[in-house]
């Protein structure tokens, strides 16, 4: 798949948006504004964490996916599934039944992403031991965290581990396996079933890579419904044709502590976007020492809390724990089949595990291309901050006073958008009340002001 710069998986349906600003208030990178009564995305700030998607009360934010029918463009149709997918289903639905359903839906091959976890942990331990590794090494597993560091903590980009996550390694492996068995590269379609928006963005515009090995992405909630429907229509005595190979410990990789549990040295696992930001601030301020490896996940409980997960994250984790124990002790791995020859291909895969390019910071507030002009604009931002009230009320349609000041110097907003300054200007007769009413209409939309008046009237008449 070809690289697209700053691809975003989230789309705002303007017709559906009611301009409630819930999304703007939770966005960790101040990537949303309200203009004309609708949410507007500043693409260079967005890290595809999905926090806005979670809080939208009217489902005006959607996460794009590829059309499932696209799989039939390929002779070899590989479903690459994160093992957290198994945890979506009740204990009665076995991983083998999930495999079978995916085959019946139309895939020709099914492979769990975390099959490459064991091999990757070997490579990570070598990476951390290398004298050139910048400590603490931060895992590259969660693409929302990688993007968060790029836009908000540029001083820490060198700490990000320059190794691919299991998803990419498993895709490289499976493609190689099929080609070695005689498949033509153009006949192979690898489709990832994703628990989150960030992985879609990472596949469509990879960081540190020219292109992705993944052909398409299907959202996990969509696939969950398809698989469940298929399982319900099956007769009870149907036999499992496929056998998952994954080992119990690898199954837990995408959950909190799942990755750090494989790594030597002092490791720390952090989950949830707010905790991630809090910790990265400490790291940037050099308050954290003596840590070798940091596993940071944007979602609570790791991928079990992904925004495209169907199941409750705590139940998902519990089911996966049980399955991990069962798989680790009772399941006998097949002697041959997908995954069993992975270590034979280690030299081949080892060459492909490092990222091809270093990870670079991504400036989310580029005030100007010209450095001298950018410095001047930064001084203006500071000056505006002296006038703005500093209470981040959001009535101006920006999430914070600083975000408004940055918008003003970039010509995207006006100082009179601040409701406090409006009142001051009205008081000193520098702004006519009609003008200040029009400013509010520009931010919150005509309908919003009209509708609220009508609603209020109706309520008053009823009482
Ligand atoms: S996906 Fe995350 S970063 Fe992007 S707009 Fe939504 S909350 Fe903000
Ligand atoms: S949460 Fe954001 S996208 Fe959803 S309705 Fe409110 S303003 Fe619009």
Domain ranges of the chain: 68-352, 365-463
**Could you tell me which residues come within 8 angstroms of residue 183 by beta carbon, excluding any fewer than 6 positions away?**
75, 76
d(CA 104, CA 106): 5
Residue 185, classified by CB atoms within 10 Å of its CB into exposed (0-12), middle (13-18) or buried (19+), is: exposed
Measured in residues, the chain has a length of 463
The ligand with the least distance to the CA atom of 35 is 2
* Nearest alpha-carbon partner for 292 in 120, 462, 129, 418: 129
* Ligand 2 pocket mutation pick from 31, 60, 445 by most atoms within 8 angstroms of CB: 60
The count of other CB atoms within 10 Å of the CB of residue 453 is 10
pLDDT means over runs of 10, the chain (463 residues): 66 96 97 96 93 96 93 97 93 88 95 91 92 93 95 94 92 93 96 94 78 91 93 64 64 92 93 96 88 96 94 92 75 64 79 81 77 88 94 96 95 94 92 92 87 54 49
DSSP reduced 3-state for 210: coil
Residue 378, classified by CB atoms within 10 Å of its CB into exposed (0-12), middle (13-18) or buried (19+), is: middle
Q: What six digits make up the tokens of 413?
A: 């907003």
CB 302 within 8 A of CB 256: yes
Q: How far is CA 275 from each of CA 96, 102, 145, 202, 426, rounded to the nearest angstrom?
A: 36, 36, 11, 22, 42
Phi, psi of 7 (to 5 degrees): -70, 140
d(CA 187, CA 178): 10
d(CA 435, CA 232): 61
pLDDT at 249: 72
Decide whether any atom of ligand 2 lies within 6 Å of the 23 Cβ.
Answer: yes
Closest-CA residue, ligand 1 atom 2, reads: 49
Decide whether any atom of ligand 2 lies within 6 Å of the 62 Cβ.
Answer: no
Closest-CA residue, ligand 1 atom 6, reads: 52
Q: How far is CA 257 from each of CA 250, 295, 303, rounded to the nearest angstrom?
A: 11, 7, 11
The ligand with the least distance to the CA atom of 61 is 2
């Amino acid at each position: 798949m070809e690289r697209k710069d700053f691809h975003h998986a989230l789309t705002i349906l303007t017709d559906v948006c009611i301009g409630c600003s819930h999304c703007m208030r939770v966005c960790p990178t101040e990537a949303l504004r309200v203009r004309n009564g609708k949410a507007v995305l500043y693409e260079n700030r967005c890290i595809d964490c999905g926090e806005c998607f979670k809080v939208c009360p009217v489902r005006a934010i959607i996460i794009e996916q590829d059309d499932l029918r696209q799989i039939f463009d390929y002779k070899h149709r590989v479903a690459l599934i994160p093992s957290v997918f198994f945890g979506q289903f009740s204990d009665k639905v076995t991983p083998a039944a999930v495999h079978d359903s995916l085959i019946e839906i139309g895939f020709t091959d099914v492979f769990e992403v975390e099959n490459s976890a064991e091999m990757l942990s070997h490579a990570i331990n070598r990476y951390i031991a290398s004298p050139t590794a910048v400590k603490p090494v931060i895992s590259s597993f969660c693409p929302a965290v990688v993007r968060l560091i790029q836009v908000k903590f540029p001083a820490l980009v060198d700490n990000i581990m320059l190794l691919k996550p299991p998803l990419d390694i498993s895709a490289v492996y499976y493609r190689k396996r099929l080609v070695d068995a005689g498949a033509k590269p153009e006949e192979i379609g690898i489709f990832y079933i994703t628990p989150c928006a960030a992985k879609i963005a990472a596949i469509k515009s990879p960081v540190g890579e020219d292109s992705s090995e993944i052909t398409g992405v299907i959202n996990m909630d969509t696939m969950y419904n398809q698989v469940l429907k298929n399982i319900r229509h099956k007769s009870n005595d149907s036999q499992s044709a496929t056998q998952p190979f994954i080992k119990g410990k690898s199954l837990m990789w995408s959950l909190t502590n799942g990755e750090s549990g494989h790594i030597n040295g002092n490791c720390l696992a952090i989950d949830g976007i707010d905790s991630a930001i809090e910790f990265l601030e400490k790291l940037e301020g050099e308050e954290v020492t003596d840590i070798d490896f940091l596993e940071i996940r944007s979602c609570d409980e790791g991928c079990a809390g992904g925004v495209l997960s169907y199941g409750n994250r705590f139940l998902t984790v519990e089911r996966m724990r049980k399955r991990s124990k069962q798989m680790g002790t009772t399941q006998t791995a097949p002697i041959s089949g997908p995954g069993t020859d992975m270590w034979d291909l280690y030299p081949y895969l080892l060459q492909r595990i490092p990222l091809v390019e270093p990870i670079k910071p991504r400036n989310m507030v580029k005030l100007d291309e010209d450095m001298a002009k950018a410095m001047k604009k930064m001084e203006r931002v500071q000056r505006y901050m002296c006038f703005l009230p500093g209470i981040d009320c959001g009535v101006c349609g920006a999430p914070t006073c600083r975000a408004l000041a940055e918008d003003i110097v970039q010509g995207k907003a006006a100082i009179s958008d601040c409701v406090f300054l409006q009142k001051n200007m009205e008081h000193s007769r520098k702004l006519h009340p009609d003008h200040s009413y029009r400013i509010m209409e520009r931010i919150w939309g005509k309908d919003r002001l009209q509708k609220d008046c009508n609603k209020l009237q109706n309520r008053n008449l009823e009482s």
